[in-house]
Amino acid sequence: MVTCLVSLLFIAACSSTKKQAVETSPREQPAPQATPLQIAAAQAAKLSEVQEAVKRVFKDAAMVDTKSEPSFLAGDFNGDASQDIAIIIKPAKLEAMNQELPPWLVREPRSNKPSTQRLKVEKDEPLLAVIHGYGTNDWRDPEATQTFLLKNVVGSNLNVESPANFAKTNSGRKLPRPQGDLIKQTVDGTNGYLYYARATYSWYDPKSFKAEEARSGMVHQRPLRAHAVAPQKAPAVVFITAEELKSKMESNQPLTLIDVRSSEGYAASKSTMKGAFHVKVRKLKARLAYAPLKDIAKDREIVTYCACPKDESSISAAQILQSSGFTNVKVLQGGWNEWQKANGPVQPK
């Protein structure tokens, strides 16, 4: 009897041990939680950074008008997915602001009369400087130097407006086609929008805008002209791809390569295209009187390149050369960045 009881207890103990060793499955398996995608928002502009950008472009010729409220606005005004900065500035040195070949583009978006004379900055004139962004650092980048200096567009109640909100607010009206964000404001008692399209800044007045003006390229869509020579009509430019240029270089075709990157961008780079020499756009016309440019045949193939988001500096350089009689000028499409992506030959500076 005792033996039977011991045997039963041993069997029960073993049975209990086995049950504890078995891990039961939960009734519901929790679904894996996806990590939300974090998109970094554009960093808010600081006054010190804005002042640094103004100094980079204008040196000591202008300063931020800190009395204006706001004195600067950030947005993607030219629609290239890089943040730009619009800054209300005031001239500090008139002579420098009105130099013959300024490194910025002076425009008067609200004027309805095409000007054949170079626009001048007046004493104490409030101006809107729009510095276009470049690369991952946007308008803070040392190579972000492409700047539009706009006259007669500094008003009150300045706000950045997205293209979607602009279209919604003005539904039913004839509208231009802005490439990026707009600046809504009141100028001389008129409510309107400053916007970028067709390579320049224009003014949209909801009460007076006519669609045919945008199509004809008058007030609202004036084409960009080479600021260094200010011709009545800018000559058209021809583009060449990095692969096409590589092929020409590999076959030893006669070429002249001109690097027109900004001073800051050129200084920050360790190399340049093989065989190229560097010239500032604003000094290019003057340099044509000196070697090596003065010795180049007018029909020789010349390729200009920069590191601007839309090849602005190299286009201006090409137009200067064309206006000076060179007949075979091309612009490297995508500039220095495309050349590096294509593993084009380079040389130390």
pLDDT at 82: 87
pLDDT digits (tens, 9 = 90+) for 108-145: 999 876 555 789 999 999 999 999 998 778 999 988 88
pLDDT digits (tens, 9 = 90+) for 38-72: 334 567 899 999 999 999 999 999 999 999 999 99
Written as six digits, the tokens of 16 are 């209990």
- C-beta atoms surrounding 90 within 10 Å: 19
Contacts of 6 (CB under 8 A, 6+ apart): none
**Are the beta carbons of 276 and 303 closer than 8 angstroms?**
no
Rounded CA Rg of the chain: 30
Distance of CA 286 to the CA centre of its chain: 27
Nearest partner of 126 among 45, 52, 60, 66, judged by Cα: 66
pLDDT at 148: 94
> CA 224, CA 318: separation in Å to the nearest integer?
13
Tokens 């804005």 -> residue:
50
Strand runs (DSSP E) across the chain, as ranges?
A: 62-64, 72-75, 84-91, 105-107, 127-131, 147-151, 156-161, 182-187, 190-197, 200-204, 238-240, 256-259, 271-273, 277-278, 302-305, 329-332, 346-348
Least reliable range by pLDDT among 51-55, 307-311, 336-340: 307-311
> CA 313, CA 306: separation in Å to the nearest integer?
6
Domain 238-348 grouped into CATH 3.90.950.10: no
pLDDT digits (tens, 9 = 90+) for 248-291: 999 999 999 999 998 888 888 899 999 999 999 988 998 998 88
Residue type, 46: K
pLDDT at 38: 39
pLDDT digits (tens, 9 = 90+) for 75-102: 999 988 889 999 999 999 999 999 988 8
pLDDT at 290: 87
Three-class SS of residue 154? coil
Q: The whole model's pTM is what?
A: 0.55
Q: Where exactly does CATH 3.40.250.10 map onto the chain?
A: 238-348
pLDDT digits (tens, 9 = 90+) for 2-36: 454 445 444 444 444 444 444 444 444 444 443 44
